[in-house]
A and B are shown apart, each in its own frame.
Chain A
Amino acid sequence: AQSVTQPDIHITVSEGASLELRCNYSYGATPYLFWYVQSPGQGLQLLLKYFSGDTLVQGIKGFEAEFKRSQSSFNLRKPSVHWSDAAEYFCAVGITGNQFYFGTGTSLTVIP
């Protein structure tokens, strides 16, 4: 079945540490790939997206993501996490037409 998977339900990192959030998809073709962030009590905000070209994508708030076709992955990274990064992170994939799906989300806790 086609799907987008975020294997980590919850991640805790120390402030200043590096971060990597995993996202895997299972579709026949390369989908369009997105990362959204949801701060507590808020709607989602787009961090970055990948359609084609350079597989390393830069986003807002110091985030980047790398598309790896061989691994069907689009992992989100940040070199140094800030306390304000604590939020829910959603990977999303779009195929064609109306096929657009969010992953199940990864909750990030940042400890001082």
Chain B
Amino acid sequence: DTAVSQTPKYLVTQMGNDKSIKCEQNLGHDTMYWYKQDSKKFLKIMFSYNNKELIINETVPNRFSPKSPDKAHLNLHINSLELGDSAVYFCASSLEGWSEKLFFGSGTQLSVL
């Protein structure tokens, strides 16, 4: 019954590896997001995506790429992981844009060693 679910909850990996985080929402929402929360709890938008357009935060390295197989899924692929990528990554969704309530997943804690 979880509205926005993301897996895995914890991800520990070595520098240089490629990893993916999966996100699924069962709310029928049109817009999905990926946020990065650093150790100081600062939240930064990485991507927002609906079935019409992908908005990329220009500060996000191109090692990060969202992949949406369908409207209910927005996965995050990360290539060549770096130490600075360690953070908690949150998936979120909304009916249409940020003016609607954002529903968040419970986060994926990524640790790059």
Contacts and interface: CB of A to CB of B under 8 A. Distances in A.
B20 interface: no
A98 B42 contact: no
B102 A44 contact: yes
B4 interface: yes
Contacts of B92: 43-44
B106 A105 contact: no
A55 interface: no
A32 interface: yes
Interface of A: 32, 36, 38, 41-46, 49, 51, 88, 90, 94, 98, 100-102, 104-105, 107
Contacts, number: 46
B51 interface: no
Contacts of A107: 41
Contacts of B105: 43
Contacts of B102: 36, 44, 46
Interface in B53-111: 55, 90, 92, 98-99, 101-107
Interface residues of B, number: 19
Contacts of A45: 104
A72 to B, nearest CB: 20
B23 to A, nearest CB: 11
Contacts of B40: 104
Contacts of A46: 101-102
A98 B107 contact: no
A45 B92 CA distance: 10
Nearest to B45: A100
Given A94-B99, A98-B55, A100-B98, A42 B106 contact: yes
